[in-house]
Amino acid sequence: MPAINSSALALDVGSKRIGLAIASLASRLPRPLKTLENDADFVQALQAIIDAENVEAVVVGLPRGLDGQATDQTGVIKAFADQLKGDLSLPIHFQDEAVTSRQAEDELKSRGKPYSRGDIDALAATYILQDFLAELDQHAEHKETVA
């Protein structure tokens, strides 16, 4: 059972930027956090956020093709997550990220206010985390009904 004040952090990984979203594991309400550059300083910046936000799990958005098949980018992200697992002492989970960037851009456009590419990335990470938490809740409900 996670600590009451712990969090989960989601990453929408791109070649230039990585969008971050966070949610308390108690409230389960994900929100965009920020965007970090995907550069040599990324892991250090990520570790600072993990420490400050009491993160207990990291969720990485996993790209797939339209039919759910692995793509070249799927392999790139899996390799990224493997490296990250070696750098962090936290569990790393994957969550399908199908159309999250498009969904984020559509939502931001509908607001009628200026937004950046980083805003799209952070909001996409929020959708990734929302989907992950919903699946966790579904599994917990199923486990309770089976037991």
**Which of 30-39, 69-78, 133-142 has the least mean pLDDT?**
133-142
Does residue 96 belong to any structural domain of this protein? yes
Question: Which residues, including other chains, have CB under 8 Å from residue 118's CB and lie 6 or more apart?
Answer: 17, 19, 34, 35
Asked if the structure places residue 2 within a domain, the reply is: no
Confidence of residue 143 (pLDDT cuts 50, 70, 90): low
Question: Containing domain of residue 51, as a range?
Answer: 7-146
Mean pLDDT check: name the lowest of 15-24, 36-45, 111-120, 133-142.
133-142
pLDDT range class, residue 1, cuts 50, 70, 90: very low
Q: Which residues of 125-145 are buried (b: 16+ CB within 10 A; e: fewer)?
A: bbbbbbbbbeebeeeeeeeee
pLDDT at residue 144 tops 60: no
40 within domain boundaries? yes
Residue of 136, 13, 121 whose CA lies nearest to 76: 13
Per-residue pLDDT reduced to its tens digit, 68-104 = 888 899 999 999 999 999 999 899 999 999 888 899 9
Percentage of residues of the chain with pLDDT beyond 70:
92
Any domain includes 1: no
Looking at the chain, the whole-number percentage of residues with pLDDT higher than 90 is 76
What pLDDT score does 107 carry?
95
| Residue 23 forms part of a structural domain | yes
Which pLDDT score is estimated for 114?
Answer: 94
Residue 140 lies in a domain: yes
**Domain harbouring 93, CATH code:** 3.30.420.140
**Is residue 100 one of the residues assigned to a domain?**
yes
Helix residue spans in the chain (DSSP H): 42-53, 72-87, 100-110, 117-146
pLDDT per residue as tens digits for the range 108-122: 999 999 999 999 999
Whether 42 contacts 90, CB under 8 Å:
no
Which residue in this structure is represented by tokens 């990585």? 18
Closest CA to 50 of 87, 79, 94: 87
Number of domains in the chain: 1
Q: What's the confidence (pLDDT) of residue 3?
A: 59
